[in-house]
Structure 1
Amino acid sequence: MATKKKTSFASSGSNAGMAPWLGIAAIIVLIDQITKVTISKLFVFGESRPVTSFFNLVLAYNKGAAFSFLAAASGWQRYLFTAIALAAVIFIIYLLKRHAGQRLFCWALALILGGAIGNVIDRTIYGHVIDFLDFYVGNWHWPAFNVADMAITGGAALFVFDELRRVGK
């Protein structure tokens, strides 16, 4: 009977079934914030240090969204992107609760959740997101990004993979 309850709880989406996914999100937030604080302490804004022939560490601030979308706006975008991220966090928690037993789907959601929370923390505390990873080829640089961005991108890729796998069944 106890085994049946545990299975029932996990599939019905109880908090116990959500715990591993929330733990993954928390680890992402922790790594994201530790790396951002470290870079902020070691660099001054705009400073860049070469690491390889295609990668620098740099302290950059992004007041916009992905690829600095709306970064030059007057400041209202901070609140818009924070609100969008908080709505996404609420929706992701709902999905995690509802689908806690779907491993790959929940991995994707947990990564996106951790990344979203990491960037919301930045927007709330600093008014911008701290970016520090700068990859480039020749003189062409990708927009700088951070651990939260990597988690969101990785989660999105896992989500697409999971959906393609599901469609293929």
Structure 2
Amino acid sequence: MAKARRWRQNVRIVTWVALFTFIIDQLSKWIVVHVMSLDVRHAIDILPPLLNFRMAWNYGINFGLLGGGSEATKWVLISVALGIVLFVVVWLRRDPPGWPGLVSGGLLIGGALGNVVDRLLYGAVADFLNMSCCGIDNPFAFNVADIAIFAGALGLVLLPGGRSQGNGPRKKAP
């Protein structure tokens, strides 16, 4: 009974973080593409050189890798993203981490689903954030989902997993 209640609490945390991440990502893209018309304007300087909006349609993965733009590539990347979401959900179910790990999982899931929706709506991921600093001109753009995916993956790797929420110590195999 306590285990089922704890699982429901964990699911709530992951779901709310994923939903919040997804909404912020999609809202930011909608504002930038449809309200600010960045897809037509291509560039808007916000706080140069630290923060600029630069429209980039990413047909591939990070930094445009595998960006051939074919319909098959789009569906492969959608399938990979959904597979990663499923893997993270199963991982969180089998080895529930503490709340920082649950938040990390929610970030990764929400970001991945945000980029999946982009591929379904636009055929590519809408990247628009560009940051440069200290004399280094960064040519790449990214989005809120990319930040969430990176932070979520980093959190899942660096934050301790296991039964750290009072389920007792793990038994060692004989």
TM-score (ref. length: structure 2): 0.80
The CA distance in 2 between the partners of 1:142 and 1:154, in whole Å, is 21
Q: What is aligned with 2:159?
A: 162
- Superposition CA RMSD, Å: 2.3
Q: Provide the aligned length of Structure 1 versus Structure 2.
A: 158
Q: Residue type of the partner of 1:81?
A: L
Query: 2:149 is matched with which residue?
Result: 152
Residues 128 and 142 in structure 2, CA contact (< 8 A), matched pair in contact too = yes
Question: What is the identity percentage for the equivalent residue pairs of Structure 1 and Structure 2?
Answer: 29
AA at the equivalent of 1:102: G
- 1:81 to partner: Cα distance: 0.7
Change (3 A) 1:105 1:142: farther
Distance 1:136 1:49, change over 3 A: same
TM-score normalized by the length of structure 1: 0.83
Q: Deviations over 1:97-146 (max 9, x none)?
A: 33445222222211110110000011112110011101124462242000
Determine which of 37, 41, 51 is the counterpart of 1:43.
37
Aligned-pair CA distance for 1:91: 1.5
User: Match for residue 122 of structure 2?
Assistant: 126
Structure 2: distance between partners of 1:18 and 1:127: 31
Contact 1:10–1:101 at 8 Å: present in 2 too?
no
Matched residue type, 1:141:
N
Q: Which runs of 5+ in 1 are unaligned?
A: 165-169
Structure 2 residues not aligned, in runs of 5+: 162-174
- Which whole-Å deviations, capped at 9, do the CAs of 1:31-50 have from their partners, x for residues lacking one? 00000000011124261111
Q: 1:122 and 1:38, CA in 2 relative to 1: closer, same or farther beyond 3 A?
A: same
Find 1:58's aligned residue among 26, 51, 54. Answer: 54
- Does 2:18 match 1:22? no
The reply to whether residue 70 of structure 1 matches residue 27 of structure 2 is no
2-structure distance, mates of 1:51, 1:154:
24
